[in-house]
């Protein structure tokens, strides 16, 4: 047969999924037939025939399972997998099932038709409960809105929005919960290694060594902490409507918090089961370090202000206002013209020129250079100082080993995720741009460049502050 005249020969090809499906049906049919004939040979007393046919049936079933089931499972739509329901039996459900079992045993022992009818009605109630709860959860849309800037130790508000777009069925008793997430687990992974003989000898004493691979059970890193902890309850959601709930968030420590999915759970209508539908909705919050003033903050802030004022020269020349004279004012600032007009002493107050150009330098120490508490206190102090001077309208820039910027929120995000690292100090190549530096470091005093002392205030991690 000549196919050259056909416009599209590929349309006559049978898809691979159908070929695999037909082969699976044929294989399972043969396995079923072999199992039936093995039963016949067993009854006739043919032991070897029974063993052979049973083995053939088992082998055919295993081959079909290994070659067809994984392939078909991969072709399942992702949306169908995501909308899988989870079931949890409640205490009321356990008691209800126990009552059904007792009545069923009594019906079998007595043969009373009324008891059979009661058991059937009780089982039908369980089936109806599952169907109704599934219908209640279908068609719901979830939206989570988290705040953009969150500080450790400070409450923040998130918003949970639940929508029901169906026209004919409202939803009852809905809980927005966090999806189940496994903790740290282990996975099998291949690693590159070498096969040497004899084993246990030094490389120069071994006869030969060839590249090899081995599989090992490796621990997977612990996932980031979750954002939400408790459920949010919606008692009733009408058709074609949406409801919102405000959730208070408060994080004790800085860092990244992540939620990959949520769940919509309900016990409606009979509370026999808690049915949960997983909703793939990823959310992430970067929790900034705490900026709450601490005792260390109040101790160093007056000293820093004094150092900054001593580094500034002169006063501003612009007139800010004319006010009444006080005992602390100098006589040279008295405005005699304003005094003559008002009949009371008046002084001129000048606007100070804004020369508060600061640079906060966090010299990230190596692991082990400071204790965990000292390290976290240093991060909180750097964040608090940066936030304070930004609120005072000072021109502030920020520097770490891998970061240099003037945006306070980028700096706080950097400090939220920073960890000790063995990298060169950022003080070696720190340019002197005329800014006044607030340096937080764990280095020894003798290793700090001499040109930084004149225009810097140092805070030492794990050492006595100057």
pLDDT in tens, 356-410: 578 899 988 888 888 888 899 899 999 999 998 888 888 888 989 888 888 999 9
Alpha-carbon distance of 369 to 372, in angstroms, equals 10
Chain centroid to Cα 334, Å, comes to 62
With left for phi above 0 and alpha for psi between -120 and 50, is residue 462 left, alpha or beta? left
Alpha-carbon distance of 26 to 28, in angstroms, equals 6
Please report which confidence band the pLDDT of residue 310 belongs to, taking 50, 70 and 90 as the band edges.
low
Length of the chain equals 466
Which pLDDT score is estimated for 456?
82
Alpha-carbon distance of 196 to 201, in angstroms, equals 9
Alpha-carbon distance of 277 to 448, in angstroms, equals 59
pLDDT in tens, 281-307: 889 999 999 988 877 887 787 777 766
Indicate if the pLDDT at residue 159 is higher than 50. yes
Which pLDDT score is estimated for 30?
87
| 19 Cβ contact list (under 8 Å, min separation 6) | none
pLDDT in tens, 29-81: 888 888 788 778 877 878 788 778 877 877 787 777 777 766 666 665 444 54
Indicate if the pLDDT at residue 140 is higher than 60. yes
Q: What is the mean pLDDT of residues 114-141?
A: 88
Which pLDDT score is estimated for 328?
67
pLDDT in tens, 426-443: 887 787 776 788 888 888
pLDDT in tens, 375-385: 998 999 999 99
DSSP, collapsed to helix, strand or coil, labels residue 105 as helix
Phi, psi of 258 (to 5 degrees): -135, 145
Indicate if the pLDDT at residue 17 is higher than 80. no
Q: Which helix (H) or strand (E) holds 414?
A: helix 408-417
Which pLDDT score is estimated for 189?
67
Between 350 and 368, residue with greater pLDDT: 368
Burial (Cβ within 10 Å: 0-12, 13-18, ≥19) of residue 121: exposed
Please report which confidence band the pLDDT of residue 174 belongs to, taking 50, 70 and 90 as the band edges.
very high
Which pLDDT score is estimated for 74?
60
Which pLDDT score is estimated for 224?
78
Q: What is the mean pLDDT of residues 144-154?
A: 91
Give the strand pairing for 140-145 and 156-164: antiparallel
Strand order in the sheet with 456-460: 403-405, 395-400, 357-362, 436-441, 456-460
pLDDT in tens, 205-236: 777 777 777 766 666 566 778 888 878 999 99
Per-residue burial over 333-345, b = 16 or more CB atoms within 10 Å of its CB, e = otherwise: eebeeeeeeeeee
* Report for 44-53, 112-121, 143-152, 320-329: range of highest mean pLDDT: 143-152
Q: 82-181+223-288: which CATH number, 2.60.40.10, 3.40.50.150, 3.40.630.30, 3.40.50.1980?
A: 2.60.40.10
Which pLDDT score is estimated for 243?
93
User: pLDDT averaged over the chain?
Assistant: 79
DSSP, collapsed to helix, strand or coil, labels residue 308 as helix
Query: By the 8 A CB rule, do 382 and 255 touch?
Result: no
Alpha-carbon distance of 129 to 145, in angstroms, equals 32
Alpha-carbon distance of 462 to 376, in angstroms, equals 11
Indicate if the pLDDT at residue 11 is higher than 70. no
**The model's pTM:** 0.64
> What does the domain layout of the chain look like in residue ranges?
12-75, 82-181+223-288, 186-219, 316-352, 357-460
Alpha-carbon distance of 379 to 136, in angstroms, equals 48
Please report which confidence band the pLDDT of residue 5 belongs to, taking 50, 70 and 90 as the band edges.
very low
Between 188 and 466, residue with greater pLDDT: 188
Query: By the 8 A CB rule, do 266 and 136 touch?
Result: yes
Which pLDDT score is estimated for 238?
92
User: Taking CA 293 as the corner, what is the angle to CA 290 and CA 295, rounded to the nearest 5 degrees?
Assistant: 120
Q: What is the mean pLDDT of residues 165-179?
A: 88
Which pLDDT score is estimated for 187?
61
**Residue among 443, 406, 438, 444 nearest 425 (CA):** 443
């Amino acid at each position: 047969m000549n196919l050259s005249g056909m416009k599209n020969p590929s349309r006559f090809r049978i898809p691979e999924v159908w070929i695999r499906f037909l082969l699976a049906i044929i294989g399972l049919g043969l396995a079923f037939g072999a199992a039936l004939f093995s039963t016949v040979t067993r009854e006739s007393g043919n032991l070897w025939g029974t063993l052979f046919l049973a083995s053939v049936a088992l082998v055919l079933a295993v081959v079909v399972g290994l070659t067809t089931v994984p392939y078909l499972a991969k072709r399942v739509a992702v949306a169908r997998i995501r909308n899988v329901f989870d079931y949890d039996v409640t205490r009321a459900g356990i008691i209800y099932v126990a009552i059904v079992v007792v009545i069923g045993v009594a019906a079998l022992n007595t043969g009373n038709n009324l008891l059979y009818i009661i058991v059937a009605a009780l089982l039908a109630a369980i089936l109806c409960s599952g169907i109704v709860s599934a219908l209640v959860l279908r068609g719901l849309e979830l939206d989570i809105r988290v705040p953009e800037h969150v500080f450790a130790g400070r409450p923040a508000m998130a918003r949970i929005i639940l929508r029901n777009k169906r026209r004919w069925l409202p939803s009852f008793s809905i809980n927005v919960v966090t999806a189940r997430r496994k903790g740290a687990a282990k996975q099998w992974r291949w690693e590159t290694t070498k096969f040497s003989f004899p084993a246990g000898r030094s490389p120069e004493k071994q006869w030969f060594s060839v590249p090899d691979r081995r599989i090992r059970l490796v621990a997977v890193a612990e996932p980031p902490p979750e954002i939400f902890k408790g459920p949010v309850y919606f008692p009733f959601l009408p058709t074609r409507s949406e409801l919102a709930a405000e959730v208070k968030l408060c994080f004790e420590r800085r860092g990244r918090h992540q939620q990959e999915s949520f769940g919509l759970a309900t016990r409606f209508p009979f509370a026999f089961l808690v049915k949960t539908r997983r909703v793939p909705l990823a959310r992430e919050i970067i929790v900034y370090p705490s900026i709450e003033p601490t005792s260390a903050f109040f101790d160093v802030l007056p000293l820093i202000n004094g150092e900054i004022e001593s580094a500034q020269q002169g006063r501003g020349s612009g007139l800010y206002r004319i006010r009444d004279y006080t005992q602390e004012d100098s006589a040279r600032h008295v405005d005699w013209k304003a005094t003559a007009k008002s009949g009371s002493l008046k002084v001129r107050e000048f606007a100070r020129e804004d020369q508060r150009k600061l640079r906060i330098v966090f010299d990230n120490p190596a692991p082990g250079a400071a204790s965990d508490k000292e390290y976290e206190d240093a991060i909180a102090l750097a964040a608090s100082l940066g936030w304070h001077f930004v609120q005072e309208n000072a021109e502030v820039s920020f520097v770490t080993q891998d970061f240099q910027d003037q945006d306070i929120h980028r700096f706080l995000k950097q400090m939220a995720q920073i960890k000790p690292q063995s990298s060169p100090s950022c003080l070696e190549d720190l340019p002197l741009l005329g800014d006044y530096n607030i340096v937080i470091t764990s280095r020894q005093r003798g290793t700090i460049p001499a040109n930084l002392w004149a225009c810097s205030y140092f805070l030492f991690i794990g050492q006595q502050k100057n």
